[in-house]
Structure 1
């Protein structure tokens, strides 16, 4: 992504909320993400799991690389569990995320986790080239109760975009998903290859935890 598009992304992706979800500096985290990539500064070295770049590239489907923005850390994750179409990935610090066909539906070990989500409509809209979808997100409140957020989302293609990672250039189509509901608003970005696989995404967890950049190999 070129510098201009990164600046636009930083301006557009503001995960905001009112009430107990409003804590945290997500907007500044996204600006920091854009600034780091524009300046070309290398990310911190992956921690926890001793996995080389060569291992990642030579074992497709076995690893994720995740940028955990709230702790400014790149990390590598490996598969730890399957439950139907959902796959859970974990790093060396026991932070985990669960993906359903590339869409994040749960996290554990972050400042405020996404306890669960139903986002089937998002994936269907991406396959269709865009459209509207409804999501439900579940968060743990400060009183240890589950808060359910109902979100209305609009998914739109932004056209072809080449991405670079680990000295590789990959062709993709970029999709943006704008979601709003109750006291929550966010924008997710997905980069989809010619086979329909989400190979990179920037997905919202919660205002306390910010966004995860997820690279699928």
Structure 2
């Protein structure tokens, strides 16, 4: 029986869309593409999720890879990118609905230390029964260890967990250790229907 709903954060609870800040700080499409490649799609971004760098560190690491004229925009994007992190449509309502139906709620996110600055605008950390952020434990999805950490930290049984993530490889990682799950494509109604198929709770 499913007792725990485990949420990814980006593009499940909050809308992670770097284009929002790129469009805000830059006008030229080539400049946007360059910063997107160097900043948001670079190894440094992954290192920040692993807790090895801060957002400020990322800027210092990558600034020499782009023209100096773009440094102000790059710094703004590196340190203010979470301006895009607005609640996904229906996310708050879904969280409240499953909570009212007796499920425990957890967050399992690949995120840098700035998670703790912007995430409370979605809900207080105490709203969830547990939160695991990759930067704190230096393990990122879909590595097996991050799922095992969640289960061990909160004494959860894998088969009683349903994981919702927007990336198929992260769902597969959860399934490898016995968790249920589904890829989120923006429709919480479909998630409710999937839960209904595998649980005796009324959703």
Do they superpose with TM above 0.5? no
Per the normalisation by structure 2, the TM-score is 0.26
Per the normalisation by structure 1, the TM-score is 0.25
Higher relative contact order (CA 8 A, sep 6+): 2
From the CA coordinates, give the structure whose radius of gyration is larger.
2
Query: Which structure's residues are more often helix, by fraction?
Result: 2
Query: Which structure's residues are more often strand, by fraction?
Result: 1
